[in-house]
Structure 1
Amino acid sequence: MRWLKWLFHNPHETEEEDPFLRSITRLESLVSKLLSILMIGLILVAVVDLARFLLMDLLVEPTGFFSTTLIEIFGLFLNILIALEILENITAYLQKQVVQVELVIVTSLIAVARKIIIFDFEKLGGLDLIGLGAATLALSVSYWLVRRAKPSSQ
């Protein structure tokens, strides 16, 4: 029962709030906690799957090397890194009740970098690469602006 109280508890709640707004805040907190628990499960499954994939690739291949290209393996690692960044976004939201723009931009940059790293030149065209470049430029400028707007005390 104690964990139910913890699950529904919102540390930022004040008694003077409107009951409707208080219930909305509690629901947001509950959903955020549920998302974080599900994300932890997803990350654990992805790490186990990656370990299984690497071991099977090493043991099955007669030469003792990977049959999969390193680019594909890096893509799997970056998937887990992106999931960790999303978990950090959810955790930051739970702590401060504010979406931290800088974390969202960094997560987006990692996702675009993953796409660039695993870019398949045989299946995708130059327009796709230009789009990824434009996204990278836009996210980089956004990150620079957000960092520049931050107070120097942080």
Structure 2
Amino acid sequence: MKFLNQLVTEIVEAWKHDEKFMDYVHKVENIVSKILSIALIIVILVSLYDLVLVLSTDLFTTEPVGFFSKTIIEIFGLFLNILIALELLENITAYLRKHILQVELVVVTALIAIARKIIIFDPKEYEKNDLIALAVASLALSASYWLIRRINDKS
């Protein structure tokens, strides 16, 4: 309880001074980023375990039709999920290193996510408008990435 009272007192004091308050905000951002990193590492490890389990089951224990009992598209989806999670982890660690959000990394992550959706797109399950929306999003993100790269190369 004494710790909590001291913390509240420090925050009230920091509220009066912008620089001190920003130090607290910075500390909270770091703590949240580290917690997100740890949570994402756990998600990546569990996803990797799931991928290994699916592959080993399909390759060694079931009698597949063809080579895999699951469609190759579903397996690619699992791979791409891990890749997207790794990109998200890279975004968080880049933030922890430089304390800035790198827009280029965010756009690349979004492009990978859109590519994943396009790769695993099932035309029987979705309408044509959904594919058109993915194409427009892909085009917009590609243009954004090109602009960002062009600006970064000039500076």
Residue in 1 that maps onto 2:92: 90
Alignment coverage as a number of residue pairs: 138
Cα drift, residue 27 of structure 1: 0.2
| Matches of 2:84 and 2:62, distance apart in 1 | 29
Residue in 2 that maps onto 1:140: 142
Unaligned runs of 5+ in 2: 1-16
Cα drift, residue 62 of structure 1: 2.4
| TM-score normalised by L of structure 1 | 0.85
- The residue type equivalent to 1:142 in the other structure is S
**What CA RMSD, in Å, does the superposition of the two structures yield over aligned residues?**
1.6
Residue in 2 that maps onto 1:61: 62
Q: Is the 8 A contact 2:63 2:69 kept in 1?
A: no
| Matches of 2:153 and 2:86, distance apart in 1 | 26
Bigger CA radius of gyration = 2
Unaligned runs of 5+ in 1: 1-15
Match of 1:75 among 74, 77, 84: 77
| Matches of 1:35 and 1:107, distance apart in 2 | 16
Residue in 2 that maps onto 1:4: none
Q: Which of structure 1's runs of 4+ aligned residues deviate more than 4 A?
A: none
| Matches of 1:141 and 1:151, distance apart in 2 | 15
Cα drift, residue 81 of structure 1: 0.1
Residue in 1 that maps onto 2:39: 38
Alpha-carbon displacement from aligned partner over 1:42-88 (angstroms, at most 9, x marks no partner)? 10111011101111112232258311111110000000000000000
Please identify, of 117-126 and 144-153, the stretch whose mean Cα deviation from structure 2 is larger: 144-153
Question: How many percent of aligned residue pairs carry the same amino acid?
Answer: 58
